Copies of this chain bind each other. A is one copy, B any other.
C-alpha cells in the first residue's frame, strides 16, 4: 500500500548512488536501506526495483553475483566501471535539476544545497 509518487526517474540514481557507497548490495537490502534512511517515508516497491536493476545490468552499469545464504538465494549487484562513470553523471544531473527546481519554486532564494 501507498504512496510515494513524485519524480519518476530518480530510482536509477538512487540505486547507483547506494552501490557507490556500499560496494555491493542485493535488492531487498536496497529497499530496506532506503526505508531506513527516509524513516519509512520512501518505500521502493519490488515491482519498480527489480525491473530497474535488470535494466541497469542489461545496460552494463551493474554486474551480479549470486550467493546462497541460509538456503535462500541472494543476488548481489555491484557497479561496473561504466556504472561508476554513469553514477557521477546522473548525480550531477540530479543536482542540477534540484537546483533548478528550487529556482522555480523558491523565487528569490538562491539554492545552496546539497545533493
Answer whether residue A73 sits at the interface, using C-beta atoms and an 8 A cutoff: no
- What is A's interface to B at a CB cutoff of 8 Å? 4-10, 13-14, 17-18, 21, 34, 37-38, 41-42, 91, 93-94, 96-98, 100-107, 109, 111, 113-115
With a CB–CB cut-off of 8 A, which chain B residues contact A93? 5-6
Judge whether A17 and B104 touch: CB under 8 Å: yes
Q: List 13 A-B contacts (CB under 8 A).
A: A4-B97, A5-B93, A6-B10, A6-B93, A7-B7, A7-B97, A13-B105, A14-B105, A21-B107, A37-B100, A38-B103, A42-B104, A102-B113
Task: Count copies of this chain in the complex.
Answer: 2
Query: Looking at the complex, which one of B6, B17, B37, B42 makes contact with A7 (CB distance below 8 Å)?
Result: B6
Contact B4–A7 (Cβ < 8 Å): no
Cβ of A97 to closest chain B Cβ, rounded Å: 5
A115 contacts B107, C-beta separation under 8 Å: no
- Chain B contacts of A10 at CB under 8 A? 6-7, 101
Contact of A100 (CB < 8 Å), options: B42, B102, B114: B42
Of B5, B17, B96, which is within 8 A of A105 by CB?
B17
